[in-house]
């Protein structure tokens, strides 16, 4: 499960010109490390595969996977858009000087402050999640006399083959309005038709995350295009934009079934093109929102081993200096990861370990039943494919500090996020 430019030299793992063990020593552990060439390579795959002569194709990076100013600049240079879901996201993008005409704002309970900031910054689209939210935005645009382009989030009722916590389009999902609720859409259309400031450009949907079944995306597109056709006939209101969200899965283990990304993207484009020819639909812009699939398998986390022990039940434990505060996904989703000893990749003896963290929780387990050489005190342990939802979901649990984040490209290292200090941790405390 090595990243794009990771290699093994003399039984040690390298990223670019750097030994992982040297990076761990210089920047301390836990440490998030990104393979910049790997990110660039994945973006190139998306751009090559998601393209059409019939409509604009827009790749919107899903920032919840991971966001930092350095990554914003990389994405901007590659021509990608970015989504945001909070004031914090918007301010980071603004300070990073990311073009607001390439920002899309999401959320199922947007505050007045968030909506006002979106209007002031003139983001490309606000994705409306509900009739209630549309009414709220209608009032704000009239008060500010600002025009606003929107997409409306719909729930197509498609079951993605993924963990129940990251399915987002089942009929009882908290996101969007169901495509089966015709009464809701009558009210939605009425607001748009009578508003001089609100414009319904199209629809958005997202069926889930970490989806490795290509047919799920094909089914989503078919259902959404059928809905658009019906919506236009019933309401006499034309829409020209379709955003199918993201959820493109990556490999975490060697045994994982890989998603054929190129085939999946090309198939999505082909379905839309064919529907336009056979059904008289007209789509001006098709959007996707990959996040994990762009950064996930280009990120790793480095830990320092504090030693090992064997439980009474003969379970071998490799104990590291991080855990659920820097990677909550195993505890939250039972996510699985592959692990190596960075400074001794191929040990002569092999053991089965659970790699466990330092926090006061029985569920603080990073990886279960992984095969490693005999671990020793101060070994550098690398967890692969941690580029998505690890830093962004990290916490100060047990008074821990969020790790630093670095990007490696050939012979260059860029520190993108500094390690928190105890002074940082105490800033919000009141004594």
pLDDT tens column, 319-353: 999 999 999 999 999 999 999 999 999 978 899 99
Residue 170: its pLDDT value, please?
53
Residue 172: its pLDDT value, please?
67
Under DSSP, is residue 168 helix (H, G, I), strand (E, B) or coil? coil
Q: What is the rounded average pLDDT for all residues in the chain?
A: 95
Question: What long-range pairs does 229-238 form, CB within 8 A, spacing at least 24?
Answer: 229/279, 229/281, 231/185, 231/203, 234/182, 235/185, 235/186, 235/189, 237/189, 237/192, 237/193, 237/200, 238/282
Question: Which of the residue ranges 153-157, 267-271, 407-411 would you say has the lowest mean pLDDT?
Answer: 153-157
Q: Averaged over 110-132, what is the pLDDT?
A: 98
Residue 280: its pLDDT value, please?
82
The residues, any chain, with a CB within 8 Å of residue 206's CB and separated by 6 or more, are 153, 168, 169, 175, 244, 245, 246, 247, 289
Q: Is residue 214 within 8 Å of residue 258, measured between CB atoms?
A: no
Nearest to 386 by CA among 306, 321, 304, 292: 292
Q: Is residue 386 within 8 Å of residue 32, measured between CB atoms?
A: yes
Nearest to 408 by CA among 146, 1, 22: 22
Residue identified by tokens 């692990």 is 339
Residue 52 structure tokens? 């059409």
Residue identified by tokens 């390690």 is 419
Backbone dihedral region for residue 38 (phi beyond 0: left; psi -120 to 50: alpha; all else: beta): alpha
pLDDT tens column, 167-178: 444 566 788 999
Please list the active-site residues: 360
Residue 158: its pLDDT value, please?
84
Q: Has residue 162 got a pLDDT over 70?
A: no
For the chain, how big is the Rg over CA atoms in Å?
Answer: 23
Residue 347: its pLDDT value, please?
79
Pairing type for strands 12-15 and 18-19 reads: antiparallel
Say how far apart CA 241 and CA 150 lie, in whole Å: 10
Q: Averaged over 125-139, what is the pLDDT?
A: 97
For the chain, which domains are there? Answer: 6-35+296-426 (2.40.37.10), 106-289 (3.20.20.10)
């Amino acid at each position: 499960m090595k990243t794009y430019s990771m290699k093994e030299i003399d039984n040690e793992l390298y990223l670019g010109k750097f030994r992982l063990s040297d990076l761990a020593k210089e920047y301390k552990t836990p440490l998030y490390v990104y393979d910049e060439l790997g990110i660039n390579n994945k973006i190139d795959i998306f751009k090559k595969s998601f393209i059409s002569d019939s409509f604009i194709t827009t790749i919107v990076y899903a920032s919840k996977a991971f966001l930092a100013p350095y990554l914003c600049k990389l994405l901007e240079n590659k021509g990608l858009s970015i989504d945001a879901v909070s004031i914090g996201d918007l301010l980071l993008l603004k300070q990073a000087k990311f073009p607001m005409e390439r920002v899309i704002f999401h959320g199922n309970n947007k505050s007045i402050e968030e909506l006002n900031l979106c209007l002031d910054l003139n983001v490309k689209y606000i994705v409306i999640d509900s009739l209630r939210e549309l009414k709220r935005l209608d009032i704000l645009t009239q008060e500010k006399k600002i025009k606003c382009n929107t997409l409306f989030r719909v729930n197509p009722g498609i079951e993605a083959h993924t963990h129940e916590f990251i399915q987002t389009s089942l009929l009882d999902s908290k996101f969007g309005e169901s495509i089966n609720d015709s009464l809701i859409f009558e009210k939605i259309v009425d607001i748009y038709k009578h508003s001089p400031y609100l414009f319904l450009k199209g629809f958005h949907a997202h069926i889930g995350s970490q989806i490795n079944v290509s047919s799920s995306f094909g089914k989503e597109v078919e259902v959404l295009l059928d809905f658009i056709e019906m919506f236009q006939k019933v309401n006499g209101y034309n829409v020209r934009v379709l955003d199918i969200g993201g959820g493109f899965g990556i490999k975490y283990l060697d045994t994982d079934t890989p998603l054929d990304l190129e085939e999946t993207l090309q198939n999505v484009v082909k379905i839309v093109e064919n529907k336009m020819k056979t059904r008289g639909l007209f789509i001006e812009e098709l959007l996707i929102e990959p996040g994990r699939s762009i950064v996930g398998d280009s990120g790793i986390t480095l830990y320092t081993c504090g030693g090992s022990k064997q439980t009474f039940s003969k379970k071998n434990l490799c104990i590291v200096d991080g855990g659920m505060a820097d990677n909550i996904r195993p505890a939250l989703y039972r996510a699985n990861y592959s692990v190596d000893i960075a400074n001794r990749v191929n040990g002569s003896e092999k053991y089965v370990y659970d790699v466990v963290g330092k926090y006061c929780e029985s569920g603080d387990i990073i990886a279960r039943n992984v095969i490693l050489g005999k671990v020793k005190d101060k070994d550098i342990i690398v967890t692969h494919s941690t580029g998505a939802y690890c830093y962004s979901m990290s916490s100060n649990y047990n008074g821990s500090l969020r790790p630093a984040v670095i990007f490696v490209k050939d012979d260059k290292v860029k520190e993108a996020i500094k390690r928190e200090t105890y002074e940082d941790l105490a800033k919000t405390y009141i004594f």
